[in-house]
Amino acid sequence: MSARRFEGQVVVVTGAAQGIGRGVALALAGEGARLVLADRSPLVEEVAAEARALGAPVLVAMVDLETWAGAEQLVAAALAEYGRVEVLVNNVGGTIWAQPYQEYTPEQIEAEVRRSLFPTLWCCRAVLPDMVARQQGVIVNVSSIATRSIYRIPYAASKGGVNAMTASLAMEHAQNGIRVNAVATGGTDAPPRRIPRNAQPLSAQEQAWYQGIIDQTVASSLMHRYGTIDEQVRAILFLASSEASYITGTVLPVGGGDQG
């Protein structure tokens, strides 16, 4: 196995400012990639500095990927800087509210879907013309085992959509030399988010519901633990690399045995 599997490749990582996205960006930098790091948080600039310190060329795109305009702007910037996109890692998403479905307002449901489905839809649509024209490319979508879980139904539905589009895009574009896979991440230990998804303080009831998610996630894992960011990153980079050259249309659960 090469220690620099992405030497010279242009890789777009969305949601790169924190958590798994940051881990993916820095791992790719260490393996020789030319990076485009996308986020709507200025924290992405700190990640870019870390990646540059590892020797990677880095373009930062401050964009809102819940919109088509943001995705289009991201890919246009990548093509203007590097002339191509060889790998796209779609990492934007995450539960905003944790509560029984009947407690969600219509506005909250729409916000969850905008956060966890539309960025992947938009970015795949934006990058495909370049990949089809070059008859090569790799897309790795970050999904979740939360497609079978409690207290986050809109998020589960969004990630189910990501899984479906992963399978269908792979079927549609294998003829174009494009591989499309997903990693369904399990519960993952990460530092506290510096910019939380939900900035409102949680009530005692909301804290209990959130704890319910944690308890269910640990119980559903055969290993009965959360994973690490590195354990998720290694799976994502494997599917993005040529080591997975005969794998497409696959959703790989990385949840300690929880298949999602």
Q: Which of 69, 7, 80 is nearest to 40 (CA)?
A: 69
Candidates 82, 104, 151, 155; catalytic one: 155
155 in catalytic set: yes
The single-letter code of the amino acid at 186 is: G
Query: Over the Cα atoms of the chain, what is R_g?
Result: 17
Q: Which of 119, 238, 134, 141 is nearest to 185 (CA)?
A: 141
Q: 198 near 112, Cβ under 8 Å?
A: no
Phi, psi values for residue 252, rounded to 5°? -95, 110
Q: In the 8-state DSSP scheme, what is residue 242?
A: G
Q: In the 8-state DSSP scheme, what is residue 5?
A: T
Q: Give the active site residues.
A: 155
